[in-house]
Structure 1
């Protein structure tokens, strides 16, 4: 019998890396690290490192890097790519329950992980926990690098029922698949955006099956994120919009959304 879970997760990890191959965010992160640390090699923790798209360039730049992820298929891709990098260590762990370690110079919550947490915990609570755990993993005076999608009007972005496909292709085992999404609805009271989709799979032997999915996300306000940072003992030193030197406005009210980046110091 087919192990459908293995086939789907392997396919998704492979196709995700085929599509999510941009480098502008990595280049910006390296730039910020150089500017804010006087080009001194840092002891860095990346949470949810996936296939290594960010942690591997960090290690190649001379930093000592630790990464972890809950998805063994993504992590295996990272293991394969990190060959020869003795300054990079990766392990498998659930970010909401695992011990992140201590005394890091920099903790990185990148790739919009704040809006893509997978946990049984209340979503807003898990977002606050991620920021608190980042503080606990840092040495005194260490820094958090956080980037995430910040929405001024989430209803304008998420309210819409429409069919679309965001990933499709064939993985390295010959499995073809595509994702089909049917849109989402945003609740302004709970700040929860919910949607449904499914994955259509055709294996290399011609078997076909469909995996239905439901998802939801808590879309935090700018004030909430700032509050979580303050409660965790952070002082915001720099903010940026869309991986540029443009500072983040307070409040964000002249655009529907942006990719916000925050560089904050643990007091």
Structure 2
């Protein structure tokens, strides 16, 4: 699922997201596993991770399905006066030069709602890594989908933007449908109504580990919530590290 009109307000909505923690977690892994020169960021969105990585001296390619999100990322890159290569592409059909490390944070892979899509993506990632390269990503845990989202409604009311965010959960598939209705203030003072629907799915950790190994990855490690510790019952974000031999 690609972000459409929501792309223009995405950064405002995600202002409190822990981007520095994703960056620190990734660099902590690279200190141990080898520092990459070329990084590919799958589901890069508006570049909130790709651009800081470029500022730290990495050669970064940002890949996203949404042209609208990439347009915002490009404008941000120009303002920051750095260089990132932006590519509009489906991660399931990845076709780019190889990288030393491929990352996918902010639960981008949770948008793959079919098992075959996850497995296909893992195969494409494996093919796009240099030997010894690392694959780093995080996804929503089953607990988060079933209990933190569940069948809940979230709201926000501000002067320039308001939203109604309804979550509908399928517990058998561990899948959540996000129905989002935004009201965006225009220059005229009137409000524009924007609606988007997003679907995300959680998978059991052992399934993800199995699919990574079937794709050819080795040294698969699983931690949770930005720590070096394994997940527990109420962990919300699962982190995976895998290496191409």
**TM-score tier (shorter):** 0.7 to 0.9
C-alpha deviation, 1:106, in angstroms: 0.7
C-alpha deviation, 1:97, in angstroms: 3.5
Q: Once the two structures are superposed, what CA deviation does each residue of 1:84-137 show, in whole Å capped at 9, x if it has no partner?
A: 434x322222333442x24311111111111134xxxx6332222222211111
Please tell me whether the aligned partners of residues 43 and 63 of structure 1 are also in contact (alpha carbons under 8 angstroms). yes
Per the alignment, in what secondary structure is the counterpart of residue 140 of structure 2?
Answer: strand
Aligned residues: 241
User: Of the candidates 131, 143, 161, which is equivalent to residue 122 of structure 2?
Assistant: 131
Please tell me whether the aligned partners of residues 146 and 174 of structure 2 are also in contact (alpha carbons under 8 angstroms). no
C-alpha deviation, 1:36, in angstroms: 1.7
**Distance in 1, Cα, partners of 2:161 & 2:23:** 28
Match of 1:164 in 2: 154
Unaligned runs of 5+ residues in structure 2 are none
- The 3 A distance-change label for structure 1 pair 149 and 218 is closer
Larger radius of gyration: 1
Per the alignment, in what secondary structure is the counterpart of residue 168 of structure 2?
Answer: strand
User: Of the candidates 137, 146, 163, which is equivalent to residue 155 of structure 1?
Assistant: 146
**Distance in 1, Cα, partners of 2:13 & 2:69:** 9
Match of 1:12 in 2: 9
**Distance in 2, Cα, partners of 1:124 & 1:169:** 39
- The 3 A distance-change label for structure 1 pair 163 and 147 is closer
Match of 1:30 in 2: 27
Please tell me whether the aligned partners of residues 102 and 136 of structure 1 are also in contact (alpha carbons under 8 angstroms). no
Per the alignment, in what secondary structure is the counterpart of residue 116 of structure 2?
Answer: helix
- The 3 A distance-change label for structure 1 pair 234 and 92 is same
Per the alignment, in what secondary structure is the counterpart of residue 215 of structure 1?
Answer: strand
Per the normalisation by structure 2, the TM-score is 0.84
Match of 2:204 in 1: 221
Aligned counterparts, 1:6-85, within 5 A: 8-20=5-17, 22-37=19-34, 40-83=35-78, 84-85=81-82
Unaligned runs of 5+ residues in structure 1 are 171-175
Task: Please tell me whether residue 206 in structure 1 is matched to residue 189 in structure 2.
Answer: yes
What is the root-mean-square deviation of aligned Cα atoms in Å? Answer: 2.7
Match of 1:92 in 2: 88
Per the normalisation by structure 1, the TM-score is 0.77
Per the alignment, in what secondary structure is the counterpart of residue 243 of structure 1?
Answer: coil
- The 3 A distance-change label for structure 1 pair 62 and 226 is same
Per the alignment, in what secondary structure is the counterpart of residue 219 of structure 2?
Answer: strand
Structure 1 stretches of 4+ moved >4 Å: none
**Distance in 2, Cα, partners of 1:216 & 1:74:** 17
**Distance in 2, Cα, partners of 1:74 & 1:27:** 23
Per the alignment, in what secondary structure is the counterpart of residue 96 of structure 1?
Answer: helix
Per the alignment, in what secondary structure is the counterpart of residue 23 of structure 1?
Answer: helix
- The 3 A distance-change label for structure 1 pair 78 and 21 is farther
